[in-house]
Structure formats: structure tokens, C-alpha cells
Amino acid sequence: MLVYPTGPYLAVTGNASAGGSLAYTAGYLTGVGIIVLLLLAGIGRCIAIMRRPQANRICGSALLAYLCGWLMGVVGFGAIGAFPEWGAVLAVCAASSLWISFLASLALAIAGLADYDKARHSHGRGQAIWTLVLNGVSIVGILGIAVASIIYGLRAQEQPVRSAAVIENRDYNFSLAPAGHWVSMKPERLNDKACLALRAHQAGDFFAGDRRTIGGAGGLGRVAGNFPGQSGKCVRGVGAAGGKTDRQRGDVFPCDQPHTGQRHPP
């Protein structure tokens, strides 16, 4: 379904299949579950080694702290998908647990190696060494991802859309040709469920493609709620599945037929 508004905001709904979303969710949860099981197995192994009479418990606790931190981080980041409204809090908690575990495990590994005595200990040194190696790899990897994200963000700055360019989205069954004054932007900056977002270069108007299909005029309020700081009256051009609503002006097309959007006036 496509709607072309006269007002400043637009939401587009398409025919994305629920099956693809379910498959993604199932794969995501399966991956998180496998990682959690592997971390639990590693934690159990560390505890078993620490119980041995000649084990250096400080060395063993270093790897244990590292794995526990990753366990809390994976569970925290994995829960964001199930509780998106708590996404910011969960992300902060998960990231904090990771960095705390990195620092704690590093300190324990160094202290354990300093305390390790071959005459008294026969287990634990390997765990401390592995802790140092894994910490180094993790920290370098995280810093590398952060730098790559910054570089990607700089390269993906908002760019004007050529007036002749046609934006096509086959997954959501729509295409459109915006005028040259429209600027592309990251969809999540306007709406975390959007699949497309444009901004008028000077007028401050926004265009967003919403991934969900709304049923009936009551869906307007739900879609409007996805635009922070905007009320239902400010979000115009949102049509209901099956036809126009009395609060909107614009063309409504069925989502099971391909349509090309009209060019916005300059």
C-alpha cells in the first residue's frame, strides 16, 4: 500500500511477509541460545577446574569472570529484541557488564599468574593465559568495530537524491522517484521500524516508509506513535488497508500489486 500526502509526513506500508520475520526471529534466538549454552559449558568447566586441590583459584576465577561477563552481555543484547522498549537500558547494562568483566578478569589473571607456584599448583595457569589472550582479542575487536562504525557513518552522510533516480524496494513492493530537494537519511533516525526515510533539504518535511501494514483508520494512531514528538494530526498521508480514510488525502494502492510512486513537486 502506498499513500502520497499533501502534508509534511508520510508513512508507507508494504506487503512484507510474516514468514520472513518469523524465520529471522527463530534464527536469531537459536544463535543466541547456542552462544549461551557454550558460555555455560565454559563456566561449568572453569568451576570444575577450580575445585581441584592443586588448582590456583585466582587464575581460574579470571576466566570465570570473563565468561560470566560475556554471558550477561549476550543475554542483555539478546533481550533487546524481545523488549525493545527497554533497549537503551539493556544495552547499557550489557555493555557495562562486558567492560567490568574485562577489567576484573585482567586483574585476576595478572594476580593469578603472580601467585602461581609450580610446587603448589598444577592447574589454573592455562586459564589465566587464555584470559589475557581472549581479553586482548575482545578489546581489539570491539575497538575495531567502533572505528569501522565511525568511518561508515562519515561515509554514509545524508546525500541528495537525484530527481531522476528511482528508489525501489522489492521486499515491501513499492518504488518512487523523489524530487531533487529530497535527501536520504537513515530510516532508524525517524522511526525504528521504517524501511525508507527521506528529508526535504530545506523545508524540514519528512518521508518515511513504515514496515507494518495497518488495518483500518484506527491504525493511524499506532503508526503516528512511532514518530517521536508528533501527534496523529501531524502524521498525514497514512492510509488504511483497503481504502482511504476520512482523515487522509492521497492515493491508496493494494500492496499485492506493484506501483511506482509519483514524483514529489519541487
Q: What is the pLDDT of residues 27-63, one digit of tens each?
A: 878 888 899 999 999 999 999 988 888 889 899 999 9
Comparing 154 with 34, the larger pLDDT belongs to 34
Q: Please list the alpha-helical segments (H only) found in 51-183.
A: 57-82, 87-115, 125-155
- The pLDDT assigned to 174 comes to 60
- CA distances in angstroms from 195 to 184, 210, 263, listed in the order given: 12, 6, 19
- The pLDDT assigned to 118 comes to 85
Facing residues of 168 across strands? 175
| Rounded Cα distance, 96 and 158, in Å | 32
State CA 235 to chain mean position distance: 25
- Please report how the helices 125-155 and 57-82 are oriented relative to each other, as an axis angle in degrees rounded to 10: 30
Q: What size, in residues, is the chain?
A: 266
Which of 90-99, 179-188, 238-247 is the most confident on average?
A: 90-99
- The pLDDT assigned to 37 comes to 94
| Rounded Cα distance, 177 and 263, in Å | 5
**Has this prediction a pTM greater than 0.75?**
no
pLDDT band at 231 (very low <50, low <70, confident <90, very high): very low
Average pLDDT over all residues of the chain:
68
- The pLDDT assigned to 197 comes to 73
The percentage of residues in the chain with a pLDDT greater than 70, rounded to a whole number, is: 52
| Rounded Cα distance, 5 and 251, in Å | 8
| Residue in the structure block whose three cell numbers are 589465566 | 128
Task: Say yes or no to pLDDT of 198 above 90.
Answer: no
